[in-house]
Amino acid sequence: MCAASSSVAGRDGLAVLDAEEVRRALTRIAHEILERTHGGGQVILLGIPTRGVPLARRLAARIGEFEGLEVPCGSLDVTMHRDDLRLRPARALGRTDLPMGGVDGKTIVLVDDVLYSGRTVRAALDALTDLGRPKAVQLAVLVDRGHRELPIRADYVGKNLPTSQREVVRVLLSEVDGQDVVLIGEDGRKP
Amino acid sequence: MKRHLISAADLSRADALLILDTAEELASLADRPIKKLPTLRGRTVVNLFFEDSTRTRISFEAAAKRLSADVINFSAKGSSVGKGESLKDTALTLEAMGSDAVVIRHSASGAAHRLAGWVQGSVVNAGDGTHEHPTQALLDAFTIRRRLKGNGTRGAGLDGIRVTIVGDVLHSRVARSNVLLLSTLGAEVTLAAPPTLLPLAVENWPCSVSYDLDCELPKSDVVMMLRVQQERMTAAYFPSVREYSRRYGLDAARMGRLPDHAIVMHPGPMNRGVEIAADVADSVRSTIVEQVANGVTTRMAVLYLLLGGTEFPAVAQ
Amino acid sequence: MNPAGLPDPAIPDPARAPWLIKGVTVTRSGGQREEFTDILLSDGVIAAIGPGLSNPGAHVLDAQGLIALPGLVDLHTHLREPGREDAETVETGTRAAALGGYTAVHAMANTDPVADTAGVVEQVWRLGRAAGHCDVQPVGAVTVGLAGSRLAELGTMADSAARVRVFSDDGNCVADPLLMRRALEYVKAFDGVIAQHAQEPRLTEGAQLNEGEMSSRLGLAGWPAVAEEAIIARDCLLAAHVGSALHVCHVSTAGSVEIIRWAKSKGWRVTAEVTPHHLLLTDELAAGYDPVFKVNPPLRTAADVAELRRALADGTIDCVATDHAPHPVEAKETEWSEAAFGMTGLETALRVVQLAMVDTGMLDWCGVADRMSVRPARIGRLAGHGALPAVGGPANLTLYDPAASAEVVGPGASKSRNTPFAGMELPGRVVATFLRGAPTVLDGKLA
């Protein structure tokens, strides 16, 4: 889920993960993926736009470095499958970019920056169902901030971050925002 | 708040790009095993077609169904309208049945405007008389962008692309919508037609005018041929089909004078041999077949943006 | 002279008390403008004009702040009866006329059956007298059935009880030049006048809106100005050639004004009228495709409106005529191309003229009296109307409050609601109308 781009009280909020910690978290996740998928064969990394996409690419790059294995990487936009569409004006769609060969029989690792209510991932699972029949679907997130509203859990977590619902978690990535940091801040408005 | 799509003039450059970019995303749906998205589940789209048009109606129907909307088709023939029911009463009946959107095609200019005053939902103009046909212009713009800038171009307009629209501009809703939309997207539009088939105040339109098609061809990136009806001959708009074809028809020789990258378009249905030669229509430059597929995609984008959320998004200019 | 304007001695005269109008402003015959003066109406005539009048048996009307105009005369109205009583009847139309300050209206001939015989014109004339709200002077058709191929029995209509003097195929143009020539010649015998609806049919087939930027943007078939101007030019030349009188209905373009000005400069007997809506509204109003703005001739451009105002001010256009054209709701609540042409106008005419001409300083109230009463009566050869108030003259008077202002809201007295001014704020209010000394309207309501 994209962290809210609404205003954060106080200058940018508190950094809970700096660039170095982000790097280490991703390295660990890459190793975990290789471990649990027994070498990463038949794995496709699909990032959920916006920031899940560069994260997926970084993971693919790491895996490539460690194992010399090219893991196919793409993006899966979930806007059309969201359950909250009717609450707001129609949203612009993000890119869906699937690697050649489809998803049938593959192990899909969905990649996102923040796991919160779980609704985005639910939408992603629905979107995947219409694309084919993967052998398995796993979830990798940089930050798990709790407060699940659906029975969804992540297989790979960069950092567990207990938060209150009044707080806003923002993940900034150099590909999108020019720097790598995870910020937490107060926001008076409901997300 | 944009509730309707009635005229291409209603769309700013940002609005038009949003529609094209959304269509770009939806285009890949056609390659998937399940060509359906759940987004408009529970919404009802009514196709209110007072003029016969199987092609456009099916296009809207496919677009709505691929978004999981329910579609109700209403054609004037054999219905209560044939027995003299007024447009207003038809509109009120649809309201009572509860439609989220009405796609209307009608032979009277302004019919979509009038309908918008009588229904709560969204009105999409699928062609009103000789006024406008905005979704045709959108699918034409989408086709031009894909062909000349490549698949997957997002955020790009049609700046600097030279489009020549040829034929009966006076009676063409496709021409009106295209002149408006293509120029909004930055294209340079030229109309090529005999003086009798150009509206009197055309010099106020955002385009150039030429009576000489041969002069325009070498400078055109896109040539869009309009259908010419035989009936225009009896009303003295031109002396004969033969002369019209000779001066304004796109045959193979003329096609040879186009730049190598140029494409040939036609909104359909074609009068083969009148405004366009058969071998031109079937050539590799012709986009006529892909315009049909692009029509479904563009109309999906329009329906999604109008009905998918609470309203069409306000786009930062 | 047409005796139709005078009271018919055969009708028993209702007991009419005199009326004393106090404190009014009036321009009397002779041209003097008097403020805060009194007018006494008695036995159908103006018995006295001057300050400090009194008459013990008279009703008194406090007219402080009001203007007295000679009763307005409309040269061009559609009362729709016989045949289209769903839109209007002589009863409802003349009520609307009285509320608009009119004491006489000319009822156009495009009824069903067409008013092309003595029988129909006399029927309309009698309906008007029976209703009693204003005088109804029938207009006779020029051609049988308005079909434009054979002359109607113009002479018989002229000799009938309705004493027709104005002939028009309005709704249709007398397009055949030979027939128009014959008609112009024929009416010389009884001092008649042909009122032409100038619309070249071949140039306006299927036309919907003024041909120009709006029509091309909206995709509506254009109605070129030349379709009106070409006929006017032709008919002015014809009238001059045969030495007859031509009246041009509802002039709508600057080009038409120029041609009429030229014809008058040659001394030719050409008169012209303009509608209130053409003095105020332009084709830009068609943008929403609301057919309330659909009219024949169509609304034109701002440049045309400006020229029409100038022409009315300088007298090139002789008078204002409403072309009141009522239509039932279903004829207007539809797609533009299906809708009927026409706007109502009797009840709002004087107020629109005030807004367009008086409040802009182009015409004073004396001018309004001339353009809306004196000249129309003269062109219609209508006795008993169109005289500036004078002692001994007929007591046809309109009392008007120019300081009032109100939004136009329906319904009015007309059966139909197709007014383009709905929701508009218009100045002025007709307070009272007197027809031969008896009030038809008091305090803005039917008496």
pLDDT over 90 at C163, yes or no: yes
CATH number, residue B215 = 3.40.50.1370
pLDDT over 70 at B8, yes or no: yes
Looking at the fold, whether B100 and B144 belong to one and the same domain comes out as no
User: Mean per-residue pLDDT for A83-91?
Assistant: 91
Looking at the fold, whether B173 and B195 belong to one and the same domain comes out as yes
Looking at the fold, whether B188 and B151 belong to one and the same domain comes out as yes
Where residue B68 falls among pLDDT bands split at 50, 70, 90? very high
pLDDT in tens, C26-58: 988 777 789 999 999 999 999 999 999 998 889
The per-residue pLDDT for A2 is: 44
* C74 labelled catalytic: no
Domain ranges of chain A: 20-81+94-161
**Residues on chain B touching C218 (C-beta within 8 angstroms):** 109-110, 131
Q: Is there a contact between B223 and B254 (Cβ–Cβ < 8 Å)? A: no
- A87/B38 CB distance under 8 A: no
- C330/B86 CB distance under 8 A: yes
Looking at the fold, whether B149 and B98 belong to one and the same domain comes out as no
- B109/C289 CB distance under 8 A: yes
Select the residue of C216, C221, C335 nearest B201 (Cβ to Cβ): C216
What gap in Å lies between CA A105 and CA B100, rounded to an integer? 39
Look at residue B312 and tell me if it is in a domain. Answer: no
User: Mean per-residue pLDDT for A125-130?
Assistant: 94
The per-residue pLDDT for B28 is: 87
Select the residue of C212, C333, C338 nearest B201 (Cβ to Cβ): C212
Q: Is there a contact between C193 and C156 (Cβ–Cβ < 8 Å)? A: no
**Residues on chain B touching C335 (C-beta within 8 angstroms):** 87, 106, 108, 110-111, 114
Largest interatomic CA distance in chain B = 56
The per-residue pLDDT for B53 is: 85
Looking at the fold, whether B88 and B173 belong to one and the same domain comes out as no
Looking at the fold, whether B144 and B261 belong to one and the same domain comes out as yes
CA distances from C312 to C194, C382, C411 (A): 21, 21, 30
Does chain B touch chain A (at least 3 C-beta pairs within 8 Å)?
yes
pTM: 0.89
Quote the Cα angle for A6-A7-A10, to 5°: 150
Determine contact: B81 vs chain C, CB below 8 A: no
The per-residue pLDDT for B234 is: 72
Distance from CA of C293 to the nearest CA of B (A): 13
User: Mean per-residue pLDDT for C252-260?
Assistant: 98
Ranges assigned E (strand) in C193-348: 193-196, 209-210, 222-223, 246-248, 270-274, 319-320
Listing DSSP states for chain A in one string gives -PPP-S--EEEEEEEEE-HHHHHHHHHHHHHHHHHHTTSSTTEEEEEPTTTHHHHHHHHHHHHHHHH-----EEE---GGG-S-GGGSSPPPP---BPPTT-STT-EEEEEEEEESSSHHHHHHHHHHHHH---SEEEEEEEEE----SSS---SEEEEE----TTEEEEEE-HHHHSS-EEEEEE-SS--
Where residue A8 falls among pLDDT bands split at 50, 70, 90? very low
Residue of B51, B200, B234 for testing the chain C interface, max C β-carbons within 10 Å: B200
* CATH number for the domain running over A20-81+94-161: 3.40.50.2020
> Nearest residue on chain A to B307, judged by CA atoms?
A90
Select the residue of C212, C334, C335 nearest B200 (Cβ to Cβ): C212
pLDDT in tens, C322-331: 999 999 999 9
Tell me which of B235-249, C138-152, C169-183, C223-237 is least confident: B235-249
The per-residue pLDDT for B77 is: 65
Q: Residue B268 is which amino acid?
A: G
- A92/B306 CB distance under 8 A: no
Domains (ranges, CATH) in chain C? Answer: 3-68+393-417+424-446 (2.30.40.10), 72-379 (3.20.20.140)
Where residue B9 falls among pLDDT bands split at 50, 70, 90? very high
In this structure, what token pair is assigned to residue C54? 């009194």
B261 phi-psi bin (left φ>0, alpha ψ -120 to 50, beta other): alpha
Where residue A133 falls among pLDDT bands split at 50, 70, 90? very high
Question: How many Cα neighbours within 13 Å face the side chain of A74?
Answer: 16
Comparing CA positions, the residue from C100, C121, C97, C101 lying closest to residue C110 is C121
What gap in Å lies between CA B170 and CA A4, rounded to an integer? 51
Look at residue B82 and tell me if it is in a domain. Answer: yes
The per-residue pLDDT for C9 is: 55
Comparing CA positions, the residue from C208, C255, C210, C213 lying closest to residue C231 is C255
User: Mean per-residue pLDDT for C288-293?
Assistant: 96
The per-residue pLDDT for B273 is: 85
Contacts of residue C384, Cβ cutoff 8 Å, sequence gap at least 6: C2, C4, C5, C6, C135, C394, C396, C436
Tell me which of A25-29, B16-20, B34-38 is least confident: B34-38
Look at residue B114 and tell me if it is in a domain. Answer: yes
Look at residue B204 and tell me if it is in a domain. Answer: yes
Looking at the fold, whether B109 and B149 belong to one and the same domain comes out as no
Look at residue B3 and tell me if it is in a domain. Answer: no
User: Mean per-residue pLDDT for A79-88?
Assistant: 92
pLDDT over 50 at C2, yes or no: no
Where residue A5 falls among pLDDT bands split at 50, 70, 90? very low
Residue B48 structural domain: 8-133+292-307
Look at residue B1 and tell me if it is in a domain. Answer: no
Distance from CA of C204 to the nearest CA of B (A): 12
Is B233 or C369 the better-scoring residue by pLDDT? C369
User: Mean per-residue pLDDT for C212-233?
Assistant: 97
Where residue B74 falls among pLDDT bands split at 50, 70, 90? confident
- A89/B310 CB distance under 8 A: yes
Looking at the fold, whether B160 and B276 belong to one and the same domain comes out as yes
User: Mean per-residue pLDDT for C78-104?
Assistant: 97
pLDDT over 90 at A187, yes or no: no
- A131/B33 CB distance under 8 A: yes
Task: Report ipTM (2 d.p.).
Answer: 0.87
The per-residue pLDDT for A11 is: 54
> Nearest residue on chain B to C286, judged by CA atoms?
B110
Looking at the fold, whether B254 and B221 belong to one and the same domain comes out as yes
The radius of gyration computed from the CA coordinates of chain C, to the nearest angstrom, equals 21
Strand partners, A47: A75, A111
Looking at the fold, whether B89 and B167 belong to one and the same domain comes out as no
pLDDT in tens, B90-145: 889 888 888 999 999 999 999 999 999 999 999 999 999 999 999 999 999 999 99
pLDDT over 50 at C262, yes or no: yes
Select the residue of A90, A93, A131 nearest B25 (Cβ to Cβ): A93
pLDDT over 70 at C403, yes or no: yes
> Nearest residue on chain B to C205, judged by CA atoms?
B235
User: Mean per-residue pLDDT for A37-56?
Assistant: 94
Select the residue of B26, B37, B308 nearest A90 (Cβ to Cβ): B308
How many independent structural domains does chain B possess? 2
Where residue A10 falls among pLDDT bands split at 50, 70, 90? very low
Q: Residue A107 is which amino acid?
A: T
Q: Subunits that touch chain C (at least 3 Cβ pairs < 8 angstroms)?
A: B
Determine contact: B272 vs chain C, CB below 8 A: no
> Nearest residue on chain B to A101, judged by CA atoms?
B32
Looking at the fold, whether B155 and B278 belong to one and the same domain comes out as yes
Choosing from C283, C323, C370, C401, the catalytic residue is: C323
Look at residue B17 and tell me if it is in a domain. Answer: yes
User: Mean per-residue pLDDT for C19-23?
Assistant: 95
pLDDT in tens, A16-36: 999 999 999 999 999 999 999
Counting residues of chain B whose pLDDT is more than 90, the rounded percentage is 76
Looking at the fold, whether B144 and B109 belong to one and the same domain comes out as no
Where residue C285 falls among pLDDT bands split at 50, 70, 90? very high
pLDDT over 90 at B194, yes or no: yes
Look at residue B313 and tell me if it is in a domain. Answer: no
The per-residue pLDDT for B31 is: 84
Determine contact: C298 vs chain B, CB below 8 A: no
B 153-212: CB under 8 A from A: 154
